[in-house]
């Protein structure tokens, strides 16, 4: 019952957080003049004569709190507004872009986590040895590489030099056409998964080929984080009494690490992994632009710079939900991994 | 044990990518395509070299497509798509901007053939029979009438309909600044009428460029029946106001199309691409290439790599990257294409000082400028002598541009070629600065901020040249440059807060009126932001558009060009030349300055 | 993220315990080659920053951060006498840019991290020390700020306030402080009930003294480690924002801005794909080593100060 209480409390927190983040955005919105926001609807200087009309249509000159309540009212009617950056209703645009980003995350997150854990523990076990130094420096180098530079260089080599081996975009022309034809059922709208569900292996292979470079880019840039946390918590675990005891009892060092240290060290990594998706958004923005894989990151980055406020609000809502839900899952996982932790 | 798992996973991933690697070598066989009928004219000779996607043209550029409704699509990205799906009554022939040929009309009206009457107030078009819409319905005069009236009834924000309102009703649009409808439905109804197989346009006043306006995409003809079935205005007076200015995305043809053009709409994926397929019943014969994809690839390097790999056939290249595109294998470049577009520096005659940091102290005390700073013609002259036009064209345009003397650009009729340009001359600039404001400016100095919109390199270079040259004259002259977002930039201009600004104009239709109005008329887009008002200029412009006689028009526009030089409300800095980059397996392209770099795919053939 | 357990302070020693700690720590730092490498790198950068006016004398006296440029040609020029690192687009001198960019990098790092450290420590200490309703409210605010999408929010803030380095720094502060507040609160919670804190309270010390004299010195290590790592990270984030077009004014000496100026020249013409290598590589390497330096230093700090990790 404690558990149920806990979940309910967390969901209430979700509401608080969602209201909070949207209020923050609306406060931010007060910084813009109505005309400035209306200019998001305009791409050409010749359309500027209609600015007053746009302001009126969207009530952009009303006080911010009134705009906030109007927006809330709309949300409850299922209307998230109009995204000027992609000329679609926000909710349609979200449905369209989400699968692309999810696919990228689904493929890169496991690699980041597994490889990060592996390198991190390797580095901890060999603390202050050349292996440790080498992996740490390498991870930091990967982290501080400018994402866009790395992505473009990869593209130059594996697309330009190797003649279209790993191309940009989400699918090749033929696959894209086929995926959108009537013969192909889009169950999840995630290309690689749909390809398998439809039994179209060639589309699956095509999707994977298009995923290789973005996944590598994201991995190289993000792996340092997981690696560093794994390393430090591993070091901590290795210094714990029971590990030392086990060692004193004569157990082989390797067994001790595998059996005792690593299991405990994984706990903080779970936290980070839960956060990974949110953290990846930053990398995704640039990756999606470079590889022309249009997804949430690409959309929201443009929205934020073009004052497409309804889209930014969607970004904020989505992130808020993601944050609270992953925290919840992480806490539950904690309780599972570490029996000493109790929910409450 | 765990370590082994990790290694196994890694190995698996590695193998997996190797596997796709190998598969890639085989070229990811597509499934057998459904057998298609060969197009009517198909070259039999086998292509000598391998062509990627032989039945598809893929183009890549950037820019948000706003709407596919021809009465809403004004920006170039939207217009490009609309242009390929619809036809108008008439069209410019090939690369010409003067010779008009019939499309949906049987004949091009002229005074000579009696189809332009009442001194240019009535235009008559006989609609050609047997032309089909994509859905098979035949084009009728009623469709044509409906198309223009529906455009005026809808008159959506951000749309191009002012170009129809102006000649037909003599107004700029259907609403006033407060959003109240100001036009009478009867006027709209009477402006375009059907007479048997004819459609008759009644203009309020003579309007020489009317025919040119009718060639463009906003004069596209839509299918009345289809429109009404899809919830558009039903063609009657009842409720017509309800259809005025719909919210974005609610206009009927926002993501649909029903035209007569060479391509039909297949899919529009926001931010990604628009796919078109050939309309086999096209009245001028079906297009050569079956599919067209207009892609959006924002990152230049990615776009370039896709182009060099042959995955896209047409690429949009910003002028700074032209040199690296030269001498590429398999690439065809159409060079030195004249555009009908210019850019200029504008002075603000009455700067709005309210909360305006661009004027600093707001006084002539060496720490700012007063609101009427540019009213002294010496200041205007001095600034005009501070830009090194040759270096500017060389650095910002790599030499591919000209310096126009006045707003009527090369390629337009009635352009006076003999108006001088104020040359780069710091000596003269100094002289004028010393004269300005009775010597006060030179003595006390000034401080002002110039803004440009982020990412516009050409404007930026112009601003920097002005900054550096002006500052070099006198250590008390201080200019700040600030890059701001497009929206903020526009706002500052419209609120008259920019002391001076750089911006450009692209032709809507090839007529000097389209340029002198925004640049020189006190109610024109730019002149209004500048608070520039010269009654003589205004009346000349108003006369010019109502005058049919070419000789008289010429006089008027020559005079206007001279007045631009004398008044210096600003000065022109560039008229660019364009380039089109395509793969060499595409042929048939020709440039038309009115179309600019928007692609009309009907002209292309794909194959060696 | 950084877990702290109870930290035992042994009272009454001849030598002040904290001094002893420091001595021990220094000896550890000196023995670790990576820590030495990190410190040398940071030292080198500090030198560059301090000596910038000598290494690259400014052309514009009153605006030393404005990179000088000759001409406006958009195409970069390779290294040549007078321009040892070549020029980037619009002929900005890369050498000048990276040298003065060092100052900018330190400014971004110190200003941002310094500010979020202060905000984080204040909010975190209040929350952790007082607990109860104060804690609840503050932590919900932290939750709200933590769940804002960092990059997107930073972008929106910069777009709203205008594009400049100062506004990038402000936006990084807005999105950066919650994690510090949380970390410090966590370590304070674990220390709050310690005997020495209770003792201080019993002796009648006020809350302020207790927090700043007794609790913070023992609870601050995790955030200090975090901060040292973040100085590099902030420069990276600022660079990413620059890439998205939200950077400093063009021509301002800032590495991120210089790298993003080069974005269209990363891949050269097909026959010479690496023709313009210098425009991105040189500022990129400056960023890389700066981040590397702070990270090695941060790692060294952690290995040394974190009681759970020290003394193998």
Query: What residues contact residue B112 under an 8 Å CB cut-off, 6+ apart?
Result: none
Q: What are phi and psi of A233, to 5 degrees?
A: -75, -25
- Is C72 in Cβ contact with B485 (below 8 Å)? no
Q: Is residue C190 part of a domain?
A: yes
Q: What is the pLDDT of residue C9?
A: 47
| Burial group, residue C14, by CB count within 10 angstroms (0-12, 13-18, 19+) | exposed
Q: What is the mean pLDDT of residues B286-308?
A: 94
> Is the pTM higher than 0.80?
yes
Q: Rounded distance, CA B76 to CA B73, Å?
A: 8
A227 touches chain C (CB under 8 A): no
Of B308, B323, B455, the CB nearest to C270: B308
Residues B555 and B426 in one domain: yes
The residues in B 369-428 lying below 8 A from A, measured between CB atoms, are: none
Check pLDDT > 60 for residue B415.
yes
Check pLDDT > 70 for residue B270.
yes
Per the CB < 8 A criterion, the answer to whether C284 and A149 are in contact is yes
Expressed as residue numbers, the domain containing B82 is 56-295+585-606
Q: What is the pLDDT of residue B460?
A: 87
Q: What are phi and psi of B91, to 5 degrees?
A: -150, 155
Closest residue by Cα to residue B350 from B337, B361, B359: B359
Lowest mean pLDDT among B312-316, B409-413, C145-149: C145-149
Q: What is the pLDDT of residue B45?
A: 52
Of C159, C162, C266, the CB nearest to B301: C266
Neighbours of B333 (CB within 10 A): 16
Helices C94-130 + C33-55 axis angle, to 10? 130
Local structure of B489: helix, strand or coil: helix
Specify which residues B382 forms β-bridges with: none
Q: What is the distance in angstroms between the Cα of C206 and the nearest Cα belonging to chain A? A: 32
Check pLDDT > 90 for residue B242.
yes
- At C93-110, the pLDDT tens digits run 999 999 999 999 999 999
- Is B395 in Cβ contact with C74 (below 8 Å)? yes
Mutate to test the interface with C, among B333, B476, B485, B492 (most CBs of C within 10 A): B485
Check pLDDT > 80 for residue B18.
no
Q: What is the mean pLDDT of residues A23-32?
A: 81
Lowest mean pLDDT among A264-268, A313-317, B361-365: A264-268
Task: Find chain B residues with C-beta within 8 A of A294's C-beta.
Answer: 271-272
Q: Is residue C1 part of a domain?
A: no
- Is C162 in Cβ contact with B488 (below 8 Å)? yes
Closest residue by Cα to residue B467 from B488, B451, B443: B451
Residues B380 and B420 in one domain: yes
Q: H-helix or E-strand containing B578? A: strand B570-583
Q: Is residue C11 part of a domain?
A: no
Q: Rounded distance, CA C141 to CA C135, Å?
A: 10
A118 touches chain B (CB under 8 A): yes
Positive or negative torsion for Cα C172, C177, C178, C184:
positive
Q: What is the pLDDT of residue A255?
A: 75
Local structure of B411: helix, strand or coil: coil
What does pLDDT average to over chain B?
89
Q: Rounded distance, CA A253 to CA A259, Å?
A: 10
- Is C71 in Cβ contact with B391 (below 8 Å)? yes
- At B29-76, the pLDDT tens digits run 344 444 444 444 444 454 457 888 999 999 999 989 999 999 999 989
Q: What is the pLDDT of residue B24?
A: 39
Of the pLDDT bands very low, low, confident and very high (cuts 50, 70, 90), residue B8 is: very low
Complex-level ipTM: 0.89
Q: What is the pLDDT of residue A237?
A: 78
Residues B368 and B249 in one domain: no
What the block records as the tokens of A294 is: 């249009």
The residues in B 513-572 lying below 8 A from A, measured between CB atoms, are: 525
More confidently predicted of A320 and C26: A320
Give whole-number Cα distances, C51 to A172, B75, C45, C54, C255, in Å: 53, 51, 10, 5, 17
Q: Rounded distance, CA A152 to CA A162, Å?
A: 14
- Is C72 in Cβ contact with B396 (below 8 Å)? yes
Q: What is the pLDDT of residue B85?
A: 97
Share of chain B above pLDDT 90, in %: 76
Residue C259: give its domain's CATH number: 1.10.3720.10
Q: What is the pLDDT of residue C10?
A: 47
Query: What residues contact residue B125 under an 8 Å CB cut-off, 6+ apart?
Result: B89, B90, B104, B105, B106, B107, B109, B115, B144, B198, B199, B200, B201
Check pLDDT > 80 for residue A277.
no
Check pLDDT > 70 for residue B563.
yes
Expressed as residue numbers, the domain containing C100 is 45-311
Mutate to test the interface with A, among B74, B491, B504 (most CBs of A within 10 A): B491
Lowest mean pLDDT among C22-31, C139-148, C250-259: C22-31
Task: Find chain B residues with C-beta within 8 A of C270's C-beta.
Answer: 308, 328
Of A42, A93, A164, the CB nearest to B270: A93
Mutate to test the interface with B, among A45, A48, A106, A254 (most CBs of B within 10 A): A45
Share of chain C above pLDDT 90, in %: 19
Task: Find chain B residues with C-beta within 8 A of C92's C-beta.
Answer: none
Write out B68-94 in H/E/C secondary structure. Answer: CCCCCCCCHHHHHHHHHHCCCCEEECC
User: If you search the block for the tokens 């205004």, which residue do you land on?
Assistant: B538
User: If you search the block for the tokens 């975090």, which residue do you land on?
Assistant: C226
What does pLDDT average to over chain C?
82
Of the pLDDT bands very low, low, confident and very high (cuts 50, 70, 90), residue A194 is: very high
B519-558 burial string, b = 16+ CB within 10 Å, else e? bbbeebbbbbbbbbbbeebbebbeebbebeeeeebbbbbb
Q: What is the distance in angstroms between the Cα of C159 and the nearest Cα belonging to chain B? A: 7
Q: Rounded distance, CA B162 to CA B513, Å?
A: 14
Of C157, C291, C309, the CB nearest to A140: C291
- At B88-97, the pLDDT tens digits run 999 999 999 9
Residues B351 and B277 in one domain: no
Q: For the domain covering A88-162+209-343, report its CATH number.
A: 1.10.3720.10
Chains B–C, number of C-beta pairs less than 8 Å apart = 54
Specify which residues C69 forms β-bridges with: C92
CA dihedral C107, C110, C111, C114 (to 10 degrees): -170
Residues B269 and B369 in one domain: no
- Is B58 in Cβ contact with A39 (below 8 Å)? no
Give whole-number Cα distances, B219 to A107, B35, B91, B120, B515, in Å: 49, 37, 10, 19, 20
Q: What's the structural domain count of chain B? A: 2
Of A54, A160, A205, the CB nearest to B309: A160
Residues B348 and B439 in one domain: yes
Lowest mean pLDDT among A191-205, A251-265, B88-102, B126-140: A251-265
Per the CB < 8 A criterion, the answer to whether B385 and B378 are in contact is no
Per the CB < 8 A criterion, the answer to whether C98 and C106 are in contact is no
- Is C273 in Cβ contact with A156 (below 8 Å)? yes
- At B151-176, the pLDDT tens digits run 999 999 889 999 999 999 999 899 88
Per the CB < 8 A criterion, the answer to whether B474 and B445 are in contact is yes
Q: Is residue C111 part of a domain?
A: yes
Q: Is residue C97 part of a domain?
A: yes
Q: What is the pLDDT of residue B22?
A: 38
Q: Is residue B308 part of a domain?
A: no
Give whole-number Cα distances, B542 to B342, B561, C23, in Å: 22, 15, 87
Of A17, A304, A319, the CB nearest to C159: A304
Q: What are phi and psi of B482, to 5 degrees?
A: -135, 135
Closest residue by Cα to residue B453 from B416, B502, B411: B502
More confidently predicted of B45 and B520: B520
A304 touches chain B (CB under 8 A): no
Neighbours of B340 (CB within 10 A): 23
Per the CB < 8 A criterion, the answer to whether B480 and B437 are in contact is no
Of the pLDDT bands very low, low, confident and very high (cuts 50, 70, 90), residue B6 is: very low
Residue B271: give its domain's CATH number: 3.40.190.10
Query: What residues contact residue A93 under an 8 Å CB cut-off, 6+ apart?
Result: A83, A86, A299, A311, B270
What the block records as the tokens of C175 is: 């999105």
Concatenating the DSSP letter of every residue in B518-544 gives HHHSTTSHHHHHHT---HHHHHHHHHH
CA dihedral B264, B270, B273, B279 (to 10 degrees): 0
Of A54, A118, A168, the CB nearest to B302: A168
Check pLDDT > 50 for residue C57.
yes
User: If you search the block for the tokens 């400093």, which residue do you land on?
Assistant: C248
Task: Find chain C residues with C-beta within 8 A of A124's C-beta.
Answer: none
Q: What's the structural domain count of chain C? A: 1
The residues in B 31-60 lying below 8 A from A, measured between CB atoms, are: 31, 53, 56, 58
Per the CB < 8 A criterion, the answer to whether B191 and B114 are in contact is no
- DSSP class of residue B105? B
Task: Find chain A residues with C-beta within 8 A of B10's C-beta.
Answer: 114-115, 118
Residues B163 and B212 in one domain: yes
Check pLDDT > 50 for residue B20.
no
Q: What is the mean pLDDT of residues C187-202?
A: 78
What the block records as the tokens of A281 is: 């958004």
Check pLDDT > 70 for residue B528.
yes
Query: What residues contact residue A32 under an 8 Å CB cut-off, 6+ apart?
Result: A307, C160
Check pLDDT > 90 for residue B432.
yes
A59 touches chain C (CB under 8 A): no
Mutate to test the interface with C, among A94, A228, A304, A309 (most CBs of C within 10 A): A304
Query: What residues contact residue C304 under an 8 Å CB cut-off, 6+ apart?
Result: C25, C28, C29, C35, C310
More confidently predicted of C75 and B17: C75
- Is B301 in Cβ contact with A173 (below 8 Å)? no
- At C35-51, the pLDDT tens digits run 888 889 999 999 999 99
Q: Rounded distance, CA A107 to CA C44, Å?
A: 40
Of C71, C162, C263, the CB nearest to B395: C71
What does pLDDT average to over chain A?
84
Query: What residues contact residue B249 under an 8 Å CB cut-off, 6+ apart?
Result: A82, A87, A88, A89, B67
Neighbours of B565 (CB within 10 A): 16
Mutate to test the interface with A, among B28, B295, B519, B596 (most CBs of A within 10 A): B28
Write out chain A in H/E/C secondary structure. Answer: CHHHHHHHHHHHHHHHHHHHHHHHHHHHHCCCCHHHHHHHHCCCHHHHHHHHHHHHHHCCCCCHHHHHHHHHHHHHCCCCCEECCCCEEHHHHHHHHHHHHHHHHHHHHHHHHHHHHHHHHHHHHCCCCHHHHHHHHHHHHHHHCCHHHHHHHHHHHHHHHCCCCCCCCCCCHHHHHHHCCCCCCCCCCCHHHHHHHCCCHHHHHHHHHHHHHHHHHHHHHHHHHHHHHHHHHHHHHHCCHHHHHHHHCCCCHHHHHHHHHHHHHHHHHHHHHHHHHHHHHHHHHHHHHHCCCCCHHHHHHHHHHCCCHHHHHHHHHHHHHHHHHHHHHHHHHHHHHCCCCCCC
More confidently predicted of A250 and C223: C223
Please calculate the CA angle A119-A121-A123 and round it to the nearest 5 degrees: 70
B503 touches chain A (CB under 8 A): yes
Of B58, B299, B308, the CB nearest to A290: B299
Residue B384: give its domain's CATH number: 3.10.105.10
Q: Rounded distance, CA B594 to CA B207, Å?
A: 19
Per-domain boundaries in chain A: 2-83, 88-162+209-343
Give CA B476 to chain center in angstroms: 41
Nearest CA in chain B to A156: B305
Rg of chain A (C-alpha set): 24
Q: What is the pLDDT of residue A141?
A: 85
Q: What is the mean pLDDT of residues C123-148?
A: 88
Lowest mean pLDDT among B208-222, B363-377, C120-134, C240-254: C240-254
Query: What residues contact residue B239 under an 8 Å CB cut-off, 6+ apart?
Result: none
- At A136-168, the pLDDT tens digits run 888 888 887 878 888 888 998 899 888 889 999
């Amino acid at each position: 019952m404690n558990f149920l209480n806990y979940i309910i409390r967390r969901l209430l927190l979700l509401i608080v957080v969602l209201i909070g983040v949207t209020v923050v955005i609306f406060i931010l919105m007060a910084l813009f003049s109505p005309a400035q926001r209306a200019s998001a609807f305009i791409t050409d200087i010749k359309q500027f004569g209609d600015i007053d009309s746009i302001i009126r249509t969207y009530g952009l000159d009303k006080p911010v709190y009134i705009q906030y309540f109007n927006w809330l009212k709309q949300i409850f009617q299922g209307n998230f507004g109009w995204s000027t950056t992609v000329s679609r209703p926000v909710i349609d645009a979200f449905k369209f872009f989400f699968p692309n980003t999810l696919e990228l995350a689904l493929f890169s997150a496991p690699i980041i986590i597994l490889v990060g854990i592996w390198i991190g523990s390797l580095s901890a076990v060999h603390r202050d040895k050349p292996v440790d130094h080498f992996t740490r420096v390498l991870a930091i180098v990967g982290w501080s590489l400018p994402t866009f530079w790395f992505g473009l260089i990869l593209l130059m080599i594996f697309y330009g030099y190797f003649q279209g081996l790993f191309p940009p975009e989400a699918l090749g022309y033929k696959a894209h056409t086929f995926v959108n034809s009537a013969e192909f059922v889009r169950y999840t709208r995630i290309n690689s998964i749909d390809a398998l569900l439809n039994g179209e292996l060639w589309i699956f292979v095509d999707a994977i080929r298009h995923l290789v470079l973005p996944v590598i880019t994201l991995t190289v840039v993000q792996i340092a984080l997981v690696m560093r946390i794994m390393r430090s918590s591993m070091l901590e675990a290795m210094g714990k009494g029971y590990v030392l005891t086990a060692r004193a009892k004569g157990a082989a060092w390797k067994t001790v690490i595998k059996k005792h240290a690593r299991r405990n060290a994984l706990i903080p990594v779970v936290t980070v992994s839960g956060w990974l998706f949110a953290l990846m958004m930053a990398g995704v923005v640039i990756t999606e632009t470079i590889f022309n894989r249009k997804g949430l990151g690409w959309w929201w980055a443009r929205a934020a710079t073009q004052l497409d406020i309804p889209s930014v609000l969607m970004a904020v809502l989505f992130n808020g939900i993601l944050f609270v839900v992953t925290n919840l899952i992480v806490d539950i996982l904690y309780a599972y991994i570490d029996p000493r932790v109790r929910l409450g | 044990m765990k370590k082994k798992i990790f290694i196994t996973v890694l190995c698996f991933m590695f193998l997996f990518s190797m596997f796709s690697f190998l598969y890639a070598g085989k070229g990811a066989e597509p499934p057998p395509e459904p057998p298609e009928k060969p197009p009517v004219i198909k070259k039999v000779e086998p292509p000598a070299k391998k062509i990627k996607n032989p039945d598809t043209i893929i183009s890549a550029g950037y820019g948000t497509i706003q709407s596919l409704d021809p009465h809403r699509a004004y920006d170039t990205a939207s217009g490009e798509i609309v242009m390929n799906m619809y036809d108008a009554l008439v069209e410019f022939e090939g690369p010409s901007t003067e010779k008009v040929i019939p499309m949906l009309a049987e004949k091009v009206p002229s005074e000579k053939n009696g189809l332009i009457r009442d001194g240019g107030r009535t235009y008559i078009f006989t609609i050609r029979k047997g032309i089909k819409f994509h859905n098979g319905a035949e084009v009728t005069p009623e469709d044509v009438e409906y198309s223009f009236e529906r455009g005026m009834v809808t008159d959506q924000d951000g749309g191009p309909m002012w170009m129809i309102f102006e000649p037909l009703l003599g107004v700029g649009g259907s609403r006033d600044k407060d959003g109240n409808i100001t036009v009478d439905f009867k006027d709209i109804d009477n402006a375009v009428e059907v007479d048997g197989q004819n459609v008759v346009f009644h203009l309020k006043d003579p309007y020489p460029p009317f025919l040119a306006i009718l060639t463009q995409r906003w004069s596209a003809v839509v299918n009345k029946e289809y429109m009404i079935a899809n919830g558009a205005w039903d063609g009657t007076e009842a409720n017509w106001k309800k259809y005025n200015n719909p919210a974005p995305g609610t206009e009927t043809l926002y993501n649909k199309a029903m035209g007569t053009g060479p391509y039909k709409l297949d899919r529009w994926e926001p931010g990604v691409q628009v796919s078109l397929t050939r309309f086999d019943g096209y009245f001028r014969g079906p297009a050569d290439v079956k599919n067209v994809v207009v892609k959006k690839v924002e990152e230049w390097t990615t776009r370039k790599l896709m182009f060099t790999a042959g995955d896209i056939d047409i690429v949009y290249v910003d002028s700074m990257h032209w040199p690296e595109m030269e001498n590429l294998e398999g690439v065809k470049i159409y060079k030195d294409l004249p555009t009908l577009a210019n850019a200029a520096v504008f002075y603000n005659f009455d700067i709005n000082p309210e909360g305006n940091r661009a004027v600093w102290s707001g006084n002539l005390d060496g720490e700012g400028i007063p609101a009427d700073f540019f009213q002294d013609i010496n200041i205007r002259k001095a600034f005009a002598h501070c830009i090194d036009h040759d270096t500017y064209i060389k650095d910002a345009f790599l030499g591919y541009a000209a310096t126009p003397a006045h707003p009527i650009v090369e390629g337009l009729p009635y352009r006076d070629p003999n108006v001088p340009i104020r040359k780069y001359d710091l000596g003269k600039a100094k002289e004028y600065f010393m004269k300005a404001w009775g010597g006060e400016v030179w003595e006390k100095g000034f401080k002002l901020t110039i803004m440009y919109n982020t990412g516009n390199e050409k404007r930026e270079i112009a601003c920097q040249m002005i900054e550096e040259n002006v500052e070099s004259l006198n250590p008390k002259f201080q200019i700040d440059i600030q890059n701001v977002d497009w929206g903020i930039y526009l706002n500052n201009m419209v609120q008259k807060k920019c002391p001076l600004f750089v911006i450009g104009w692209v032709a809507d239709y090839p007529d000097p009126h389209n340029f002198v109005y925004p640049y020189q008329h006190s109610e024109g887009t730019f002149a209004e932001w500048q608070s520039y008002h010269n009654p003589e200029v205004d009346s000349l412009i108003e006369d010019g558009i109502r005058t049919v006689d070419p000789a008289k028009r010429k006089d008027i526009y020559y005079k206007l060009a001279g007045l631009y030089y004398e008044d210096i409300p600003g000065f022109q800095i560039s008229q660019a030349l364009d380039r089109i980059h395509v793969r060499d397996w595409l042929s048939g392209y020709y440039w038309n300055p009115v179309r600019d770099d928007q692609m009309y795919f009907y002209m292309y053939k794909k194959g060696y | 993220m950084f877990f702290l357990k109870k930290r035992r302070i042994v009272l009454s020693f001849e030598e002040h315990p904290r001094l002893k700690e420091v001595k021990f720590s220094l000896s550890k730092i000196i023995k670790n080659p990576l820590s030495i490498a990190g410190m040398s790198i940071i030292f080198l950068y500090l030198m560059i920053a301090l000596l910038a006016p000598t290494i690259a004398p400014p052309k514009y006296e009153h605006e030393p951060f404005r990179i000088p440029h000759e001409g406006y040609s958009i195409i970069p020029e390779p290294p040549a006498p007078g321009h040892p690192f070549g020029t980037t687009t619009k002929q900005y001198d890369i050498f000048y840019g990276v040298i003065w960019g060092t100052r900018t990098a330190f400014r971004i790092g110190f200003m941002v991290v310094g500010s979020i450290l202060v905000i984080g420590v204040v909010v975190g200490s209040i929350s952790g020390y007082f607990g109860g309703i104060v804690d609840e409210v503050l932590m919900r605010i932290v939750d709200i700020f933590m769940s804002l999408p960092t990059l997107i929010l930073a972008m929106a803030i910069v777009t709203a306030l205008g594009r400049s380095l100062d506004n990038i720094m402000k936006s990084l502060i807005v999105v950066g402080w919650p994690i510090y507040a949380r970390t410090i609160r966590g370590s304070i919670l674990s220390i709050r009930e310690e005997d020495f804190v209770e003792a201080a309270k019993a002796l009648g010390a006020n809350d302020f003294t207790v927090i700043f004299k007794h609790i913070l010195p023992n609870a601050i290590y995790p955030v200090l480690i975090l901060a040292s790592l973040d100085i590099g990270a902030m420069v990276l984030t600022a660079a990413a924002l620059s890439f998205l077009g939200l950077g400093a004014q063009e021509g301002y000496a800032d590495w991120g801005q210089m790298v993003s100026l080069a974005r269209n020249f990363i891949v050269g013409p097909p026959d010479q794909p690496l023709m313009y290598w210098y425009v991105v590589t040189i500022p990129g390497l400056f960023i890389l080593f700066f981040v590397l330096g702070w990270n090695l230093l941060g790692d060294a700090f952690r290995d040394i100060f974190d009681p759970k990790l020290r003394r193998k």
